[in-house]
């Protein structure tokens, strides 16, 4: 996820433009900033790029999820369905807002299994959060159809698939909202930062107010004299991040996604020649952003052996089954109900009653899939690495 690889003169110029005006806050100070609002400009550019109606820039991808949930009014007593293969931020945001994450299985896209969603729905379910993992796409149209049967909104966690499409339509624009991350290792980066896309103005307005301490942003009055429709918090993006985002967005298709996809294709050709290798499924392979090359072996033992040979050759793949940040089975703080709060919240009520518990063996299909899966991270500048990776793949194939 290599936006940092192309940081250069364009980003420098945008940042210096902000510094020359000495205004880092996204609101106010119109005279000093000479009418230049980088965050607002970034929001409009990103919405236009994705084909969304509205966009709200926030302080992180985690904040984007938190704000999206708040805009839907989700909180204590509610349940939100998501998947057991994702970065911890997905379910942290759900717990942090007071709701309970309910985990479902993944399918061969390594994203939320539409067929497993219905059996997770209860009278308390208020939303579904599929995650477009590792540069790919969930079967989002099937998930949306399932959600519509129960009149549930969908928030697409698109933190790892910025720029991805399905037959030309951007992921992150199918559901009621889509969230994105621009942290230091994402496809395009602002160091920290995130974005929420909206299909309706009402949700956008609620989110905009919530992310800025509840300010109603009434243009008829000055900052500080605005009213508040409800309480909020501070999840604002600052102008330096907006400036970086503008420069990175201009490079996204040409200088990031195009070479990334080509590098993935070159390595995938070598994998395709191995009969035992099964490549990841995709609703639209051409719309994958190319940031990860995921493939499976027939057994977990073969996957481990394959990975070991590649590691010894200096090209270790990612083995998600052992990963502690992305796989349900290794989220020890979630499974153990660990919290900094004396009451035990969010796993317990203030009175000590259990709110939610998690069984490490609750997602057997997810565990089985991940135990056989290996992943090669893809970057932009890989000309020296690709021959080594291909040689490691060819060597590993001999142990099968």
d(CA 4, CA 299): 36
Reported residue count of the chain is 400
Q: Which residues of 244-267 are buried (b: 16+ CB within 10 A; e: fewer)?
A: bbbbbbbbbeebbbebbbebbebb
Q: Is 333 exposed, middle or buried (0-12, 13-18, 19+ CB in 10 A)?
A: exposed
Q: Is 311 a catalytic residue?
A: no
What does the CA dihedral 319, 321, 327, 328 come to, rounded to 10 degrees? 180
User: Which member of 22, 44, 169, 186 is catalytic?
Assistant: 186
The runs of H, that is alpha helices, within 273-328 are 300-312
Structure-token pair, residue 53: 């109606």
d(CA 257, CA 39): 23
Structure-token pair, residue 59: 């302080």
Render 359-384 in DSSP notation, one character per residue.
-TTS-HHHHHHHHTEEEEE--S--TT
Catalytic residues: 186
């Amino acid at each position: 996820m290599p936006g940092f690889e192309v940081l250069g003169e364009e980003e420098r110029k945008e940042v210096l433009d902000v510094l020359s005006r000495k205004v880092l806050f996204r609101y106010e100070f119109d005279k000093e900033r000479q009418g230049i609002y980088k965050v607002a400009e970034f929001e409009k550019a990103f919405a236009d790029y994705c084909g969304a109606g509205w966009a709200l820039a926030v302080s992180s991808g985690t904040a984007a999820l938190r704000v999206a949930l708040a805009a839907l009014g989700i909180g204590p007593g509610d349940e939100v369905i998501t998947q057991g293969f994702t970065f911890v931020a997905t379910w942290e945001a759900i717990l942090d807002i007071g709701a309970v994450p309910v985990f479902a299985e993944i399918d061969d896209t390594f994203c939320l299994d539409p067929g497993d969603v219905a059996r997770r729905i209860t009278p308390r379910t208020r939303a579904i959060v599929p995650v477009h993992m590792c540069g790919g796409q969930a079967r989002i149209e099937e998930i949306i159809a399932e959600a519509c049967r129960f009149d549930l909104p969908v928030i697409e966690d698109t933190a790892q698939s910025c720029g991805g499409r399905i037959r030309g339509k951007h992921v992150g624009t199918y559901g009621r909202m889509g969230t994105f991350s621009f942290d230091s290792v994402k496809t395009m980066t602002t160091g920290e930062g995130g974005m929420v896309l909206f299909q309706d103005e009402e949700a956008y307005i609620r989110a905009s107010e919530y992310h800025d301490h509840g300010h109603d942003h009434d243009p008829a009055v000055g900052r500080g004299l605005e009213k508040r429709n409800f309480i909020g918090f501070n999840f604002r993006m600052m102008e330096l991040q907006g400036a970086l985002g503008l420069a990175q967005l201009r490079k996204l298709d040409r200088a990031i996604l195009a070479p990334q996809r080509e590098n993935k294709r070159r390595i995938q050709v070598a994998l395709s020649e191995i009969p035992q290798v099964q490549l990841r499924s995709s609703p639209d392979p051409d719309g994958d952003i190319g940031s990860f090359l995921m493939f499976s072996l027939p057994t977990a033992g073969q996957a481990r052996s394959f990975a070991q040979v590649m590691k010894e050759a200096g090209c270790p793949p990612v083995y998600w089954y052992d990963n502690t940040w992305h796989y349900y089975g290794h989220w020890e703080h979630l499974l153990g109900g660990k919290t900094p709060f004396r009451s035990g919240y969010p796993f317990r009520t203030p009175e000590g009653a259990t709110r939610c518990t998690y069984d490490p063996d609750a997602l057997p299909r997810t565990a089985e899939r991940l135990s056989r899966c290996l992943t090669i991270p893809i970057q932009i500048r890989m000309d020296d690495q690709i021959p080594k990776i291909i040689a490691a793949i060819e060597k590993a194939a001999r142990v099968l």
